[in-house]
Structure 1
Amino acid sequence: MTAVEKAHSLRDVVRDHAAESEQLRTLAPAVVDAMWGSGLMAAFNPREAGGCEPSFSEMIETWIEMAWQDGSFGWVGIANFPSAFAAATYLPADGFAEVFTANDHRVTMGGQFFPNGQGVAVDGGYRLTGAWSFGSGTGHAEYVAAGFMPMVDGEIRWVAEGIPDMQIAIVPRSEVSFKDGWHVQGLRGTGSYDYAIDDVFVPHGRTFALFTREPERGSSAAGRMGMMPVTAAGHAAWALGVAKSMLDDVAELAETKFRMSDMAALASRPTFQKDLAHHVAAWRAARLLVLDAFGTAEAAVDAGADLTPTQRADMRVAAVFATDTARACAEWAHLAAGTTSIREGSRLERAFRDIYTGTQHAFISEKVAMDAAQVWLGIVEDHFGL
């Protein structure tokens, strides 16, 4: 089965355990087991780590399907899958053997890649200390990713003028302290816990550079494009999936929904028909933009070209645009559904909470669009964070 088919096969178990995941504030064990049983959990990994190396198109469609089923399920997909993909792709051979090979490639990984930690350089590695927020997917992860800046003789290490060295450490769960701070409006079932690491030794073999595009293994273009495009594709696809669930649900509801004082079902109202057409068309346009931006860059890299700053800007803007469009579609669907959309526990109510939580993420903020536009305008040659 393809990754999309594997995700689709989990619809029943995700639906049946959605409320449980929210109550647990992390993905229900039955759903995690089903992800491993179907092969979905490792699907995005390089083949050497049990994956099938899907194209960007297939990754995007898989995430859309997952987020359509449930926002928390989809969010775990854009947390666990890229984390494991990156570690399996970029870890040196000894770290890969320790983390993946020794565990028969059954490794669930989550965490926060932003460099909130400091790693004091010592023989063989770093002494890592730091605190991270919103460690998505860590509720059921055996390993935790933690971004940090290496410190040498008390000073930050730099890789270029104005650009600090930013590394990712892969740390066993047993060496991480978790904080019970995940009490939120939406995405309640994602186990996005705050966590801290206090003076833990991390060998070089379990670290890699945040912005590397030099894979140690895997043959897909994604490995040569780096973590930023994979993460951006995930955010775009997630927002599109949640919005599609609301558009589909309100269209189905409209056949039997009678608003107070109306003599006909919602589906027969011309204003509803016009607005549905507009928002479905907007959703489809956003999806096509995402597929085009990521597919174009992927094809160029597949043909042997280097990823350009413009291509990176194109992908990041596509993700921001898709997120903004999805949020607008979700808002309309919520209003059109009337009181049905405020009933606690319904798909519409949960999806609305989820999308207004997930779209707060800094990775798809207006700052990203401005940075990308500066590249397009030639104001700067590049933004290293894109």
Structure 2
Amino acid sequence: MAYTDHPSARLLPGWVETIRGHAAEAEKLGKLHPEQLKLIYQQQWFNLLAPAVYGGLQTPLPQLIATEEALSWADGSLGWVVTLCCGAGWFGGFLQPGVAKQVYADTEACIAGSGAATGTAAITGDGYIVNGSWKYASGVHHATYITVNCLITNGEEPELDDDGAQLILPFILNRADVTLLPGWKYMGMVATGSDAYEVNNLYVDKSRCFKIEAAAAAIPSLLYTYPFLQLAEATLAANLSGMAVHFIDLCVPAFAYKATNIRRVNEANVALMESELTTATTQLNQTRQDFFAAVDASWQQPTDIGLLKEVSHTSRILARTARECVDKLYPYCGLLAALPVTEINRVWRDLHTACQHALLTFAE
């Protein structure tokens, strides 16, 4: 199976039925539906990047992004939650083994978190006192553990890193020690439940602190020495690609309805719509091909800086192409595309909300 096949080739029809059949209700809930979660746990999608030694799937990057693209094609919010939570599960390759075994002892382990360093961790004895609040943690309602990034202090002074800047370190916390706060009020990705959370004067043992760098990997595997930046860029771009393919799929019946039910749409209009659909499909598929090829090449030679830069470049091109192709087709879809309760509108909202992620907004 080629990575650039239609994303549906990677999912069983029953899985898609479960995911899409509960997508509207998940949006009402503001988090994934229990039946969607049941499927995720059965397939271990939250553990796609977790180390095999702890029961995870430790999926190679090319296969990972193909799976994530397919899940986001099935539903943008579900794909995004799986991507962000299994991305946090990648940290299992950097946790101290004793802590990692605790985390993954739960067969429904799920790690959520935020990359923003909006907390502080004050050094005290054999640990830290953590305070802070963090926004936009996708999947936080399903998390068993939550990660936080903190500015490190020593007494009243900032602890400095080797470059003289204030040291920032991540910690992994028990979900029970974290207070969730309502924070997601945006038009799309509603079912991701990307709410905020806070921690107040929590003592955290130093064993819960870890570093995200190749030299600090606890698992000797390419997956945990591959650069985090390109891994993050590629996984997010794959999500946007999957949503765009879903939107293009939905354009087929939308255009057909408009061609046969709107009297002011003539043969020339129909030809124009079909031409635009063909162009968008071809453009997106070519960009997907370039993207998957770049990821695969970097996976074969992960120390080649040029190949890694190409992953960053093609990730941004794919994100832009996904958005532009959808926007080109949207005006032809009729008012149903603007009705919030329709599937095509949900896909449009999810894509445009996900496209706001800063990692893929600016040129590398």
- Supply the AA of the counterpart residue of 2:275: K
Give, in whole Å, the separation in 2 of the partners of 1:318 and 1:32: 31
**Matched residue of 1:285: which SS?**
helix
> How far does residue 38 in structure 1 lie from its aligned partner after superposition?
2.4
Give, in whole Å, the separation in 1 of the partners of 2:226 and 2:353: 28
1:98 and 2:102 aligned: yes
Q: Specify the alignment match of 1:127 in structure 2.
A: 129
Alignment map for 1:32-181 (pairs within 5 Å): 32-86=37-91, 88-100=92-104, 103-161=105-163, 163-181=165-183
Moved more, 173-182 or 34-43: 34-43
CA displacement, residues 69-123 of structure 1 (integer Å, 9 cap, x when unaligned):
111111101211101122x1110122212322xx245311111022111111122
Moved more, 113-122 or 201-210: 201-210
Q: Specify the alignment match of 2:283 in structure 1.
A: 282
> How far does residue 5 in structure 1 lie from its aligned partner after superposition?
4.5
CA displacement, residues 176-219 of structure 1 (integer Å, 9 cap, x when unaligned):
11111222200000010111111112222222124445421263
Give, in whole Å, the separation in 1 of the partners of 2:289 and 2:86: 23
Give, in whole Å, the separation in 1 of the partners of 2:279 and 2:165: 43
Give, in whole Å, the separation in 2 of the partners of 1:5 and 1:50: 22
**Contact 2:11–2:70 (8 Å) recurs in 1:** no
Alignment map for 1:152-301 (pairs within 5 Å): 152-161=154-163, 163-212=165-214, 214-217=216-219, 219=221, 221-258=222-259, 260-262=262-264, 269-301=270-302
Superposition CA RMSD, Å = 2.3
**Contact 2:121–2:128 (8 Å) recurs in 1:** yes
> How far does residue 51 in structure 1 lie from its aligned partner after superposition?
2.3
| Alpha-carbon distance change, 5 to 261 in structure 1, aligned in 2, over 3 angstroms | closer
Q: Specify the alignment match of 1:383 in structure 2.
A: none
1:316 and 2:312 aligned: yes
Tell me how many residue pairs correspond in the alignment. Answer: 356
Give, in whole Å, the separation in 2 of the partners of 1:105 and 1:215: 23
| 1:31 alignment partner, one of 33, 36, 48 | 36
| 1:332 alignment partner, one of 306, 311, 328 | 328
**Contact 1:71–1:355 (8 Å) recurs in 2:** yes
TM score, norm. by length of structure 1: 0.85
| Alpha-carbon distance change, 274 to 34 in structure 1, aligned in 2, over 3 angstroms | same
| Alpha-carbon distance change, 360 to 216 in structure 1, aligned in 2, over 3 angstroms | same
Give, in whole Å, the separation in 1 of the partners of 2:13 and 2:95: 31
> How far does residue 307 in structure 1 lie from its aligned partner after superposition?
5.5
**Matched residue of 2:238: which SS?**
helix
**Contact 2:117–2:150 (8 Å) recurs in 1:** yes
Give, in whole Å, the separation in 2 of the partners of 1:247 and 1:6: 18
**Identity between Structure 1 and Structure 2 (%):** 21
**Matched residue of 1:127: which SS?**
strand
1:357 and 2:362 aligned: no
Give, in whole Å, the separation in 2 of the partners of 1:230 and 1:292: 14
| Alpha-carbon distance change, 296 to 22 in structure 1, aligned in 2, over 3 angstroms | same
> How far does residue 285 in structure 1 lie from its aligned partner after superposition?
2.2
**Contact 2:258–2:265 (8 Å) recurs in 1:** no
- Supply the AA of the counterpart residue of 1:17: H
> How far does residue 13 in structure 1 lie from its aligned partner after superposition?
1.3
Q: Specify the alignment match of 1:381 in structure 2.
A: none
**Contact 1:246–1:333 (8 Å) recurs in 2:** no
Give, in whole Å, the separation in 2 of the partners of 1:171 and 1:8: 37
TM score, norm. by length of structure 2: 0.90
**Contact 2:18–2:35 (8 Å) recurs in 1:** yes
| Alpha-carbon distance change, 117 to 210 in structure 1, aligned in 2, over 3 angstroms | farther
> How far does residue 341 in structure 1 lie from its aligned partner after superposition?
0.9
**Contact 1:130–1:196 (8 Å) recurs in 2:** yes
> How far does residue 263 in structure 1 lie from its aligned partner after superposition?
6.1
**Contact 1:256–1:265 (8 Å) recurs in 2:** no
**Contact 2:61–2:223 (8 Å) recurs in 1:** yes
**Contact 1:127–1:202 (8 Å) recurs in 2:** yes
Give, in whole Å, the separation in 2 of the partners of 1:211 and 1:154: 28
**Contact 2:254–2:334 (8 Å) recurs in 1:** no
| Alpha-carbon distance change, 249 to 23 in structure 1, aligned in 2, over 3 angstroms | same
CA displacement, residues 225-263 of structure 1 (integer Å, 9 cap, x when unaligned):
143222211210010000000111102333343263246
> How far does residue 265 in structure 1 lie from its aligned partner after superposition?
7.6
**Matched residue of 1:79: which SS?**
helix
> How far does residue 334 in structure 1 lie from its aligned partner after superposition?
1.9
Moved more, 21-30 or 200-209: 200-209
Q: Specify the alignment match of 1:348 in structure 2.
A: 344
